[in-house]
Structure 1
């Protein structure tokens, strides 16, 4: 099943057995996966805009350069992979939003065959 953004959707099931003060549900970042590289790239662009605002200027430049490489239609797959690895490096040091970027960038790397 896909949503309107071209992402595959999965339903979550929550089972609780006992306990006190159970509050909230943790949703695994990997429950939504891009169906295509292009759909994932659109989502990544949105997430990076938010992430960029919360990282140091040097990391922001790294994200900008990597996104520029990914946006070029004639970029070789290895160069796309390198750009995604740069994004993964920055996202790995960021807080909560970094986790979403990290997960999506890894999924896009897999779609590229690596």
Structure 2
């Protein structure tokens, strides 16, 4: 092995010892849908972001528009992507006057439900 003894496996890797082996369990784990509380928090956040768009300059509203797809309740978005979208919304909202604080609060609620704030 020329790679320092490291093994790189893609897909199934099975090591079988002895006899009586009957196969591989391919059931895997079921993907769970997001909790209803998270769905509701995302829905509320999206509504606030929609209102916030009217309070910020065009360049900032573009940032919000870019974040919206990741904030869709039920969207199959990896957590790092969702967190980046939440961060972009919070940064934009922190500069807004009236709706900024409620949006930041909504972002923090979502982060809390994700287990990261």
Q: Same fold (TM over 0.5)?
A: yes
Gaps of 5+ in 2: 1-35
2:69 corresponding residue in structure 1: 68
Deviates more, 1:66-75 or 1:78-87: 66-75
In 1, are the aligned partners of 2:90 and 2:104 still within 8 Å (CA)? Answer: yes
TM-fit CA distance, 1:78 = 1.2
Give the one of 73, 77, 80 matched to 1:78. Answer: 80
For 2:69 and 2:98, how far apart are their aligned partners in 1? 24
1:46 corresponding residue in structure 2: 47
For 1:84 and 1:109, how far apart are their aligned partners in 2? 8
TM-fit CA distance, 1:112 = 1.1
TM-fit CA distance, 1:93 = 0.4
Report the 3-state secondary structure (helix = DSSP H, G, I; strand = E; otherwise coil) of the residue aligned with 2:112: helix
In 2, are the aligned partners of 1:37 and 1:111 still within 8 Å (CA)? Answer: yes
- TM-score of the two chains, using structure 1 as the length reference: 0.66
In 1, are the aligned partners of 2:46 and 2:71 still within 8 Å (CA)? Answer: no
In 2, are the aligned partners of 1:81 and 1:112 still within 8 Å (CA)? Answer: no
Deviations 1:71-95 (A, max 9, x none): 2721001111110010000000001
For 1:54 and 1:70, how far apart are their aligned partners in 2? 19
Deviations 1:46-71 (A, max 9, x none): 11111101101111011111111222
TM-fit CA distance, 1:102 = 0.5
